[in-house]
Structure formats: structure tokens, C-alpha cells
Amino acid sequence: MKLVVGLGNPGTKYARNRHNVGFMVVDRLASDFRFTEWKDKFSGRFTKGTIDGEDVVLLEPLTYMNESGKSVQAAVAFFHIDAKKDLVVLHDDLEQPFADVRVKIGGGHGGHNGLRSMAGVLGPDFARVRIGIGRPPAGFRGEVADFVLQNFDPVEEATLSDVVTKSIDATRKWIDKGAAAATEGAPKTKGGRAQKSA
């Protein structure tokens, strides 16, 4: 069984924020593969189904980003998930250009509070699908937190469906081939970890 976690913040106020792209991908996965009805559990919501013949649990923590680890840790324990092998987290990434999607094994949190929370309870060695949202444009007034909690702009929104599709393709490769294959032949990051561009 695989556990696929999308990171985001709960509520309609945040639904189209850049920070919620992980939720967007998981929502599409649940719809495209006709998963069961969502259930409230693990301080979040989850649903079960199959993707390419593999049993999969989809999870969206509803703790707000800063405490995502609490929800994921509970699901990992309940479903007896090996976090190093059978867990992948889908999240927004400021350090990648918008629409750039990469698979990575382990590493730091890069200031992402959801990853920070997860690493704090599970360790850092889980797989990630990093979904590029880019950095604030020149002249942006405000903190980085203000940028990620804004909705995608109209130009980004026009291609966001394609970005979600790319993220799904990366996730399916991880499910089918495993984290090592999903990053095969990828350039090395500063920490020496491979990551694959989709």
C-alpha cells in the first residue's frame, strides 16, 4: 500500500492558493481514479482506491500547514506505512520555476512549514513531488508567506491544469517504479540527492 499526501490549508479561503497545489493534485487523483468517498480521520481527510493496480491511500491533512506532520504520522501508523519507501508528499516549491515538477528523495524542508512538520516526526527521508510555483516577482510587496497564500495569477491559472497533470504523471511513476526509478538519471541537488524533472 502507498500513502500519497497532498499538502495545503483547509477551507475555501485557501483553496486556490499557490500553497494548496498539493491538495489540487490529490483531489484530481481521487476524481480521475474514482476513489471511495472521503472520510474524516487522522486530523485530516482520506480516501482509498487503486492506481495502476496498486492500493493507494490519499490524505489531505486539515491541521493547517504548520502541523501537517501530526496528521501524516497518524496515517502512517494506522496503515503500517514504511515512510522511507511507501510515502510520497506533494507540495508547492518556491525554488522551482512555475510548472517545473520534480521528484526527490529526502532532503531539507527549504523553509516549507509542512515539510518541516513532517520531517520533525517522521525524519526527512520520504519521497516528494515538488511542484514549482516560482518566487515572488520583482517589485512584489510583502513577505514570501504572503506570496504563497495568494491565488495563482490568471496566466498561471490558464496552465494550472497541465501542471496538475504533470504532477499526477510523476506520482504515478513513483507508485509504479518506486522513488529510485522516479529520480533515475536526474541531476544531483546540493545535498547529493537525485531529483527528476517531469
Nearest to 46 by CA among 11, 16, 20, 78: 78
Q: Is 112 a catalytic residue?
A: no
Taking alpha carbons only, the member of 44, 40, 77, 76 closest to residue 60 is 44
CA distances from 170 to 48, 99, 103, 115, 126 (A): 19, 13, 7, 19, 15
Name the catalytic one among 19, 80, 91, 109: 19
Catalytic positions are 19
